[in-house]
Amino acid sequence: MNQQVDSTDGAQNRTSVERRGDCELVVTRTFDAPPSTVYRAWSQPELFQRWWMPKSVSGVSLVSCAMDVRTGGKYRLEFAAGGSDTVAFYGKYLEVVPNERMVWTNDEDKEGAVTTVTFEDQGGHTLLKFHEVYPSKEALEEALQGSAAAMPEQMDQLDGLLSSLGELCHGFAPS
């Protein structure tokens, strides 16, 4: 059974969230930036922190972001919800090909997915594919109700960050 949810903030900037079968989730979006720039936003903690947490989720913030983005490296994201307690999401990078592909585990519980993100060059634009494989149908169902539901907003926020990075680059271009 396939299920698809779209965000249409503009025809070119459509985020597609699609369930494939019982255990797979695929999110796609085209960005008006080259793969190297989109990859930077996924691999540099100071940039990642600026777009990953959906702004519509009030009272929760990404307070710590450690990323050693290389094959065999690890990551750890810590979220806070008002108090002093944090919730951590962490795992390891199984494969990293800069500007092309990242594969990581989600090790915080036994129902964590394996995530693959690809950055496909489309003439100066990037087709991003975010693919997750869950260990069970139940784990995918939980993700569809939680984190996957936020993906269109996160991709919109990433698009905004990429636009600002592009403006910064253009602002320093020689005349």
Q: Is a pLDDT exceeding 70 seen at residue 9?
A: no
pLDDT in tens, 34-62: 999 999 999 999 999 999 999 998 888 89
Q: Are 136 and 23 in contact (CB under 8 A)?
A: yes
Q: Is a pLDDT exceeding 80 seen at residue 171?
A: no
Distance CA 141, CA 145 (A): 6
Fold classification of 3-171 (topology level): Alpha-D-Glucose-1,6-Bisphosphate; Chain A, domain 4 (3.30.530)
- Give the pLDDT score at 169: 54
| Residue 144 phi, psi (nearest 5) | -65, -30
- Helix (H) / strand (E) element for 40: namely helix 35-43
Per-residue pLDDT band for 161 (boundaries 50, 70, 90) equals: very high
pTM listed for this prediction:
0.86
Q: Is a pLDDT exceeding 90 seen at residue 74?
A: yes
- Give the pLDDT score at 12: 52
pLDDT in tens, 116-127: 999 999 999 999
